[in-house]
Structure formats: C-alpha cells, structure tokens
Chain A
C-alpha cells in the first residue's frame, strides 16, 4: 500500500477534484459552521427561552454552572460507558452474525431479515416496548420467564439501570453492524478460506487470520458511525429512567436535553453542546487513530 500513495497523488494532480468536492463540502460547511457559531455565541449569553428577563453577556458562567453541577462528571463517564459497552456488544454479535448468515441454510433470506428487523423500529417505540412489555419486573415477559424458572426477576432499572439501557440500545444497533459486516463478508474471497482450511486452520484461526483482517475496515466504519449515533442516544433514557435513579443513566446528551427542553436554558444547553462537540471529537480522534493505524482509510 505504501508505494500506492505517490501514484494516487500523482493522479490527483492530473485531476482537478475540487468541482466534485464542492457541493458536499460546501453545504456541510454551512450546516456545521452557522449553527456552531450561533451555539458558541449563545453559550456566552444569558438566554432562557421561558424567562426573557434573563439576558445579557454571561461570560463563562454557563460553562461554570454546567461543569460544577454534580451530574456533569457522572454524565461524561456514563456516556463513555454506554458507548463502549454497546460498541463491544454490537461488534461481537455483528461479526458472529455476519459469519453465521454468510453460511447457506434453508430460509436464510428470511432469517436475515428478522435479524435486521429491530433496526426499523423507532427508538421511542423500542424503549417503550422493552421497558413495559419485556423488562417490567412484575408484568413483563422476562419476569415471567424468570419466575417460571424459579428465579427472582431482575429489577433492571433499579439495580442495573445502565445494563438495561445498554441492552436496549445494543438490540437496536446489532442489526446495523450485522448489515454492514455481512455486506463486507460477501466480498471475502472464498478461496482464501478454503486454502486456510487446507493448511489445517480451524475455525478460530480462520476468524483471526482471514475473516477479521478482511472485516477490519467495515468494523472501523461501524465503530465510527455507531459512536456518532450512540453519543446522541436519548429517547431510550428518557422513556425508561429519565436519567435516574440518581445520575446512574444521565449521559451528557441527556443532560443537555434537560437544559434545553426541560429548563429551556438555551445558554446552558449551548455550553453543553460546545463541550459535547469537543468531547465527541476527542473520542472520534482517539477511535480513528487507534483503530485506523492498521487500516488504510
């Protein structure tokens, strides 16, 4: 790959690419910069939607109130825990499903669709269904199964609230990982697997040395995109625990939501938005740099 670069750059010189890039870059620039600039501006204003008597320049006070609130640190940690846990679960299951549904078996097309099914369910609905119909410790399906097997049903949102959220969100995103990785599996050269088998490689070795390297770029994509959407998760938290008990499920996004649409504190929410953008970019950089080191983007 190393010697491919000069060739590519050589081509780039031959080819003026900016007319092709302009539309995408242009609209994104507008979309990103205008609201961001306004958000930055608001974050230094005393601006509350429901209380116009609060006005004027705020200095750093919006940031100060946010950072000093007891929920702030917890919310960043929760955010990271949730993103990391969901990423691990969806990737492990996604790879497993990609390998599984790459095999021929009767009814595979239908089974595939069933696995992808959860992705079509809107987050609010998914959360309501999981919380009430499945995870409710008294009337839910899980509780019923646990009791009929002789166990005490787990009281998810009291004793393992974050695990509950992670489960719901993972269920929504496993299909995405499966979809992307399965698509990528299709382009894997079958002869490579056959050759590895000839050399006496077993399942785990094939996975380690043939399949995973082949999937490394799609895995990066899945991580990248899921991270973006996971950082923004809030409907699930809102419906199930409203960020509680305590601050156990308050993520930074949820905290900003509370500022913006419960308190209508535009200044505070904007400060939170600015901090979230900075954090998200750090996470993304870290992700990209660590994962992409071996993967040519």
Chain B
C-alpha cells in the first residue's frame, strides 16, 4: 500500500517537475569508518555523472548490523545498497537475500580483485557482494623501543618471541606496556584476535560433527598464553579494550607491540592521529605451532538486497564505488594513503600508492596469505578464519568472548572459563539444530 502511494507520488512529482525520468534515489546503508566517509563525500561525483541521487544511512558498526539484518530478514526494502562483511555474505546469499553481482561491465575487471577476497564473497560460483576494502591481521611494533632495547622483530615472529619481547619492553612505571591486545568481549572484538591465536595453536571451534572443541589442549594453551601475557605485560583495563581503545593506547605511545587489523597501519602513520607516526614497524601475524589461520580476514563489501526495488541503479553505484576508477579518484582527491586497501591487485602495482603507503607490501602479503576455505590445522566443517560462517556464531562468539574476558580480569580460571564456554556453545548448537 505504502509502496503504491510512494510510487504514485513520485510519478506525480516526476511528471510535475518534468525532469529526466531516469533520476533515481537510492538509499545506501554503511559503516562510519573513514573509507566509507570518503565514499560518501565522493558519491557527489557519481551523482553528477548519472543524475541519480544517494541517500546515506551511516551508522556505527553494531547498530548498522542490527538495522540491516532486521530489514533484510523481514524483507523491509528500506535499503538499496548495504555494507556487510565476509561473515554475512555467504549466509545471506544462501538465503536468497542478496542479488547476484556477476554482470558488471568488462571495465570492472573481476580478475583484478585479490583471489582470497573474491572467493570469500563467492557462493556457488556467483559473487553476491563486491569488496570495498579488506583487512587482515598483522604485528605492529615500535621500532624506536626495539632499537633502544637491542631487539629485532623477525619478519615472521612466533608467539614465544612476542612474549620475550613484551617482557623486556614492559616498564609499568613509565606506563609502557610490552603488549596490547583486544580484551572487550565480542565476536568481532576479542574473539577476532583469539580466533587466530587458537588456529595457530592448532585448535578449531568445531570438529567434523559440529562438536564444540573449546576444552581441547590448543584452546587451553592459547587462552592460558593470552591471559598470562596480558596480566604480565598488558595495560590495565584490558578486559574492556576493543580495537578503538587499544588504538588510542598505541597512538599515545603506551604499547610496544600490538597484533591487530591492517587498517590500523594507516591511522598510526598519520601524524594527525598518532604520536608514534614514523616509529611503527610491521611484521606478519605471529604463529605458534602452525601458520594456518594465524592471520584473519575481514572484507567490508557492498551488496544489493533482493528486496530492493531499484537494483539496477544500486548495482551501477556499487560497481562504481568498488572500481579501479574510484580508487584512482580517492588517490587523486584525498591522497593515495587513503585509497581503500586490500581489494585490487592494481592498487598494489600503482607506484603512487606504494610511495604513499609504507605498509603496502606487508598488508598485501597479509591479505593474500589467508585461506578462509581451509582455516585450521585439523579438518573442519566450516569456513572463515576468526569467525565460523554459520548463523549462531555471532551469539556463540560473543558469549565465549565474555567468558574469556572473565578469565582475563582474574575473576575465573582459564579452565573454568573454557568449560563454561564449551557448555554454552554446546547449548547454542543444540538450539540451532546442529547437534541433536
């Protein structure tokens, strides 16, 4: 009913104004991260070129996820373009909630997209979302502190080495902490890092029968290591530190080592945001017993919900926003260091970008090294590195994250925390029908 009215109204308006009947307004929902803010600004260029109009809904990540999921699952049709991650894309594609995105013009050059990124957004041979920017995890450290202490960070550190470095570089009297890691509970917060730590210890979330494996030795090793290290060398308040809090700590010079997302690199090297710009070194994500799943993958991508009534224009918009030309445009108008990273090979062959982004090589290596199809040492029935691509995972990851934060703050033992995590995960898997 409402649609009819809206359609009638807009038809009337169009007739009245006598403008080109091709002008369409699309609603784009996106995250409030820097790269998207730039897109919002540059979309004026697209509007001018095409005569269409974009309405923006820019929200904080968690709020956006709630809004978009509620709308898409109820076929609300409020959004024509949504910003989703590598976790949602395969799940939603299988539900038929997303339009296929295979028919962009040849100039789009699908083959230029980095292989791991493309495969993570592909289901049964069809792409359902296109990558806007992507990140992996790696090690960031303070070159100046390492030099002063006579330490060298290897290109591929082990977690044992990280601990040694952190021990040496911790000086709590100067509020200098050897290691900073996420501790705030959440599947996208502490569990993102811990997922890679567990993978690297040879662990997995589930065995081939979907039985939770949270009380196995790799989990115990990983969590014991994390809790011990953080209590010894970490900053106070770690159990409530998410990405932003840790970044603030690192940017104000309180951390010697930080293992986290590659997107942090651009911010830490920006003197307007960081007191340690120019002093930061980068290395691969640390490993324990295997390099499988030791670095995570996250892809912010654009997709068109199947409930959209303006899918043609919506597709045109996202083809533009993820194209080579768009990356060029950002480079030329806002500076190459701000070009969306981790999506296209051509970005990393561009001398302008390589000159502006000293971390480009490490980021490319990190993004290319991941294999979300085979994330663990032992076989698993799922894909995804720091997450498991099944619907109940958001809840499971968040609950387990809470248990581990409890162990980190010293409230419970690691063993008790993992037992509780195992129980709640088992219960959630039963409820979702994976376990009888």
A and B touching (Cβ–Cβ under 8 A): yes
- Residues on A lying within 8 angstroms of B by beta carbon are 48-54, 61, 65, 68-71, 131-132, 136-139, 153, 155-159, 161, 238, 240-248, 250, 258-259, 261-265, 268
Beta-carbon contact of A52 and B95 below 8 Å:
yes
Pick from A51, A131, A158, A258: contact of B391, CB below 8 A. Answer: A51
Q: Is B384 an interface residue (CB 8 A)?
A: no
Beta-carbon contact of B185 and A262 below 8 Å:
no
Q: Is B34 an interface residue (CB 8 A)?
A: no
Beta-carbon contact of B392 and A245 below 8 Å:
no
Beta-carbon contact of A244 and B402 below 8 Å:
yes
Pick from A61, A132, A244: contact of B185, CB below 8 A. Answer: A244
Q: Is B405 an interface residue (CB 8 A)?
A: yes
Beta-carbon contact of B248 and A155 below 8 Å:
no
Docked CA distance A259–B45 (Å): 41
Q: Min CB distance, B307 to chain A, in Å? A: 14
Number of interface residues of B (CB under 8 A): 52
Beta-carbon contact of A242 and B189 below 8 Å:
yes
Knowing that A49-B73, A241-B240, A246-B409 touch, tell me 12 more A-B residue pairs with CB under 8 angstroms.
A50-B69, A51-B432, A54-B432, A138-B235, A156-B237, A158-B408, A240-B240, A246-B411, A246-B412, A258-B399, A263-B395, A268-B431
Q: Which of B98-106, B358-366, B420-428 contacts A (4 or more CB under 8 A)?
A: B420-428
Beta-carbon contact of A139 and B248 below 8 Å:
yes
Give the top 4 A-B pairs by smallest Cβ distance, nearest first. Answer: A246-B406, A263-B395, A245-B409, A157-B240
Q: Is B150 an interface residue (CB 8 A)?
A: no
Pick from A68, A69, A153, A158: contact of B240, CB below 8 A. Answer: A158
Q: Min CB distance, A276 to chain B, in Å? A: 18
Pick from B238, B249, B406, B431: contact of A61, CB below 8 A. Answer: B431
Which residues of chain B have C-beta atoms less than 8 A from A238's C-beta? 62
Which residues of chain B have C-beta atoms less than 8 A from A139's C-beta? 248-249, 252, 254
Q: Min CB distance, A150 to chain B, in Å? A: 13
The number of A-B residue pairs with CB atoms under 8 Å apart is 142
Docked CA distance A179–B406 (Å): 38
Q: Is B433 an interface residue (CB 8 A)?
A: yes
Near A by CB (< 8 A), chain B positions 392-436 give 392, 394-395, 398-399, 401-403, 405-412, 417, 420, 423-424, 427-428, 431-433
Q: Is B236 an interface residue (CB 8 A)?
A: yes
Which residues of chain B have C-beta atoms less than 8 A from A51's C-beta? 391-392, 432
Q: Is B50 an interface residue (CB 8 A)?
A: no
Q: Is B204 an interface residue (CB 8 A)?
A: no
A242-B184, A246-B406, A258-B398 known; A48 vs B239 contact (CB < 8 Å): no
Beta-carbon contact of B431 and A131 below 8 Å:
no
- Residues on B lying within 8 angstroms of A by beta carbon are 62, 66, 69-70, 73-74, 91-92, 95, 175, 184-187, 189, 235-240, 245, 248-249, 252, 254, 391-392, 394-395, 398-399, 401-403, 405-412, 417, 420, 423-424, 427-428, 431-433
Beta-carbon contact of B398 and A262 below 8 Å:
yes
Pick from B236, B252, B431: contact of A65, CB below 8 A. Answer: B431
Q: Min CB distance, A240 to chain B, in Å? A: 6
Beta-carbon contact of A54 and B402 below 8 Å:
no
Beta-carbon contact of B245 and A250 below 8 Å:
no
Beta-carbon contact of A50 and B73 below 8 Å:
yes
Q: Please, which residue of chain B has its CB at the minimum distance from the CB of A136? A: B237
Q: Min CB distance, A273 to chain B, in Å? A: 16
Q: Min CB distance, A38 to chain B, in Å? A: 13
Docked CA distance A131–B235 (Å): 15
